[in-house]
Structure 1
């Protein structure tokens, strides 16, 4: 066949295959147009899961009569004009393909009225981009897009639609996610003339938390930390669930970049790393987070449906997210939950493969580890610390034997968050009394976290000792990996790995961290290279070192059924109050729970 131009409607149907996957795809494109139009109220009416009707009505700025035919034409938009605009996209939609693509696979009616216009104007479209005949309409200021009989002319695609309930569930989930991105807009969603959602604009913090509670559940608001963190031109705000509040599925994870809901592997990796030390195995964190940065630093044109983005400084963004979340979770102490974690403006290193600090996070200078502040426990890990200290050129001192002070009288001193111990139940649980109720603490789990954090601080404060291999290991890699290892020589050295290049595709591993002398060195190096290739950073060595330290802490912690004195119990409580991540043991399980006096009264029906 000779080369020929495709009919306009077929071209639009092909384009529709990229942006119109199912009814929820149509809803997304149209609601984003309402965002860009400055709408403050958006009504979404759905029938039969969107297969029969999708109707989006807003009170935005509207479209001029003369622009209506252009709005239904490909590559026509009011949002960009030059290449420079494309590199600084601040709007939600900018391709100029959504409306013509939708109209090519559905019966579309567009009605719009601008401020001051005598009336609204209506046009119908079938994807041919021709025969537009605007008709007057009494529609108020704003725009309505009426989409009927989706995929009526492409039956093969209609067959792939799921049940009405499934398709509407996708739409409802989408609207909830979009409602979390714009608190200044009200949303009303109906399905088959039944109201499903009615969210009022939420400008005050209390109203925003109410909207989040209506979407994520009130338990999330009760068990979250509010984030407010800025650094290097990046700003992160929002809410993250405490590690003890998690889910089996990643169905309550909302991340927005400049107001755009996205799913990004780099972002997911940074958040996963931030929770790695505190989340129970297999559980998923819950979060609603907003990243704001210069539009020039993020490419939102990386995916036809704009679900993915590319960061120009990926490693900087990764380190920023990890530091903000990891530090914020660490700062949560007993009696301080639900606080707003506001961290200072600092500069993160931007140079590639900067020498890392082997800490629980890549802290900028303002986040240097605090010196140990808590009193040492009589249940020390002295032998383990001595064995560990032998691995370093600078020995690490063992914990001091404490002399716990007697329990202060509440009337003479403020009662600390975890109160004062009154009993050791079954030689396992500490019962503590507070002014507002009682607290139960798992002594072994709590001491395990305290010991683990102490060991990590000691590990961070000493140079990483290297253990030379008796026989250097030759490892065959790709040329790209060999180049990466050569460029990252200082990075590997800081991790305690001595790696040299001996050929175009050959690396020689000569030393490993002494703490990991029994590890599979070749697999460790390959994993670090893989992480560097994908994320520009690797946590493999830190993770394996932490695993060793966690084992040491576990073996050195108080065992179940060992009777503790009141002084020992109170010393542990005071340590917990000053220890990062003390709400969870090293395996992610909770270390303590609280029962208020009101809950105790309910048990015995007091006051009823």
Structure 2
């Protein structure tokens, strides 16, 4: 039998580095978190070759004495745990492994000077070996340089990606930490280029918009909701402002950037009936929760968390997001698509000539000469027949100026309503808009409860599943019964289904239970059934809404506009597409060269 032995310190550090330092961005995350925990108000990051050649972080934090610097390079030495109450930790880093782990796989230079000290101190560690130390000239704070990462560990070095890929990962780390702390000024240089220069104290909304996209400020709603000791803040993009990938969702727990399946599932649930399946919301959410209700020590890099009441957290985020969106999502995308707008510009002259070539431009004397009649200008020859009806375009009355979506003036292609508002021209997709209105009307009238009423099966159905799945479903049976799904345990590996929700009466019970179990296994809470009911209501709304191709009277158009102004989430249809867009009068005038 092989003899048990203690591993050498250098090998222990390299093993720890394998958990903490996977690539340059991992080292950068630890160093920036240390700077934040040190009370820095300004942090400067410099990268060379995406961090493969150099990662440098300079801060104006509290600094360290020479003795503290030596201790900081030992394993499990930290200033961030004053006692043994690890569940109460409030700092970003606390394991005490980051610096010695990084120093074991790179050339590591640590320089620091406490506030009030006459000079700083410098220590240089080359892949675990102390090679130099002595006085250093630098302002109060700390500077850390990481060079030649994995240079002496070729097995790890060859798994690193290209400089461009490593730079992208480093940029993502800086962005997330910068969003978490809008009070801290953060600068990022890559080679000779200045990438970020964020000023401190600019506020959460401004910081998020600067990092994600400036247009998010005009296409998002602010969130600030408290319940049961939890608080949710941040910025959530309107459903019509979405992306094809989920890379623009930034989630934070107690100021810590995390990538958590429960939180991303909650976001998906909140936007369930407002986004198409292949589109993703753009947002930055900050969850504050009592420290004893969340475990941040489940992953060496501290990017994952575990909640004591996962169901309560998810429910709070879903309801909080929906509540916030209901206050601002009557809005749609704030500007028409730029490519579509470009189609209005500068029609080529040859095309115009081909349209009007050969036309008789002599004035229609008989019509113009009619006494007291307005000029009709041979409209039968020049103008196409209108697709919809419209009243005479009278100026907006005083009482009409308060309508955000204006007054209907006509209909185009029996699909789009044209309305005049005080500040511009509004185009409304009548089918998309009415689809949303019908869905919200069904909910408001209690269709949600009606859909949840149970429909007893004539013969209860036995659904065979594996034992863990049955355990999960049995535990959630009481909650599912409130939604109309009545079932009970039927042996070790089967469930007996006695009733289904009324709206899902024709659903295959086996498929339904398997989907719910998948959701329980993933998120710990049976929200999928509720989302399924929402999808059923959305389908009903689609079939019951005004179809494209139907001619509307002007009073019908105006009634639709007024209901849109009163209805939450009316800025987008059930699939996340905008229901209306507005062209400002300034843009209209630009089209005609008046500006």
Q: Same fold (TM over 0.5)?
A: yes
Q: What is the Cα deviation at residue 536 of structure 1? A: 3.1
> Is the 2:331–2:571 contact (alpha carbons within 8 Å) kept by the matching residues of 1?
no
- Distance (Å, rounded) in 1 between the aligned partners of 2:421 and 2:144: 59
Q: Quote the residue 1:441 is aligned against.
A: 428
How much does 1:186 deviate? 1.2
Task: Give the 5 Å matches for 1:40-119.
Answer: 40-84=41-85, 86-119=86-119
What is the match of residue 260 of structure 2?
A: 264
Who is 2:358 aligned against?
Answer: none
Q: CA deviation at 1:337?
A: 9.1
Say if 1:472 and 1:408 are closer, same or farther in 2 by CA, change over 3 A: farther
Counting only pairs closer than 5 Å after superposition, residues 268-287 of structure 1 correspond to structure 2 as 268-287=264-283
- Structure 2 partner of 1:246: 242
Q: Secondary structure at the match of 1:225?
A: strand
Alignment of 1:513-552 (within 5 A): 513-552=501-540
What SS does the corresponding residue of 1:121 show, helix, strand or coil? strand
Q: Distance in 1 between matches of 2:509 and 2:395?
A: 52
Cα deviation for residue 2 of structure 1 reads 2.1
1:194 and 2:193 correspond: yes
Q: Within the alignment, does 1:219 sit opposite 2:215 as a pair?
A: yes
Please name the residue that 1:583 is paired with.
571
The whole-number CA distance in structure 2 between the counterparts of 1:227 and 1:543 is: 22
In 2, Cα distance between equivalents of 1:455 and 1:324: 21
Tell me how far apart the structure 2 counterparts of residues 561 and 281 of structure 1 sit (CA, whole Å): 26
Summarize deviations over 1:131-166 as a string: whole Å, max 9, x none.
687411122110111111111110111111222222
| Structure 2 stretches lacking a partner, 5+ long | 335-393
For residues 295-306 of structure 1, the aligned pairs below 5 Å read 295-306=291-302
Q: Distance in 1 between matches of 2:474 and 2:569?
A: 37
More displaced 10-residue stretch of structure 1: 214-223 or 470-479: 470-479
SS of match in other structure, 2:250: strand
1:428 aligns with 2:415: yes
The question of 1:315 aligning with 2:302 is answered: no
RMSD value, Cα:
2.1
Larger mean CA deviation between 586-595 and 408-417 belongs to 408-417
DSSP-derived class of the 1:83 partner: coil
CA distance 1:596–1:211, shift in 2 (3 Å): same
Using the TM superposition, give the Cα deviation of residue 515 of structure 1 relative to its aligned residue in structure 2, in angstroms. Answer: 1.7
The alignment's TM-score, normalised by the length of structure 2, stands at: 0.86
Change (3 A) 1:126 1:2: farther
From the superposition, tell whether residues 300 and 521 of structure 1 become closer, same or farther in structure 2 (CA, over 3 Å). same
Q: Distance in 1 between matches of 2:49 and 2:408?
A: 60
**Structure 1 residue 308: Cα displacement:** 0.6
* 1:38/1:505 CA distance change after superposition, 3 Å: same
2:553 aligned residue: 565
Displacement of 1:126 in angstroms is 3.6
Q: How far did residue 245 of structure 1 move?
A: 0.6
- In our comparison, the structure showing a higher alpha carbon Rg is 2
- Write the distance in 1 (CA, Å) between the matches of 2:531 and 2:132: 65
In structure 2, relative to structure 1, the CA distance for the partners of 1:132 and 1:36 (3 Å cut) is: farther
Give, in angstroms, the shift of residue 523 of structure 1: 1.2
2: distance between equivalents of 1:149 and 1:586? 52
What are the Cα deviations for residues 474-530 of structure 1, in whole angstroms up to 9, with x where unaligned? 122333433443343321221111212232332211211222111111111222233
Where 1:471 maps in the other structure, the secondary structure is strand
In 1, Cα distance between equivalents of 2:582 and 2:159:
50
Q: Distance in 1 between matches of 2:133 and 2:253?
A: 37
Equivalent pair of 1:72/1:125 in contact (CA under 8 Å): no
Equivalent residue of 1:417, what SS?
Answer: coil
2:18 aligned residue: 17
Structure-2 separation of matches of 1:412 and 1:191: 57
Deviation at 1:220, TM superposition (A): 1.6
Instruction: Give yes or no for contact 2:435–2:545 (8 Å, CA) kept in 1.
Output: yes
Structure 1 stretch 315-324 or stretch 161-170: which is displaced more?
161-170
CA offset digits 1:538-583 (Å, max 9, x no partner): 2333333333322322222222222211111111111111222111
* Contact 1:224–1:337, Cα closer than 8 Å, also in 2: no
Give the match for residue 348 of structure 1.
none
Offset at 1:231? 0.8
Q: Secondary structure of the equivalent of 1:229?
A: strand
SS at match of 2:588: helix
What is the DSSP-based 3-state SS (H/G/I as helix, E as strand, rest coil) of the residue aligned with 1:251? helix
Residue in 2 that maps onto 1:417? 404
| Count of aligned pairs | 534
User: Is the 2:236–2:283 Cα contact (8 Å) retained in structure 1?
Assistant: yes
1:103 CA drift (Å): 0.7
Tell me, what secondary structure is at the counterpart of 1:315?
helix
Aligned-partner Cα distance in 2 for 1:31–1:238:
22
Alpha-carbon distance, 1:470 to partner: 2.6
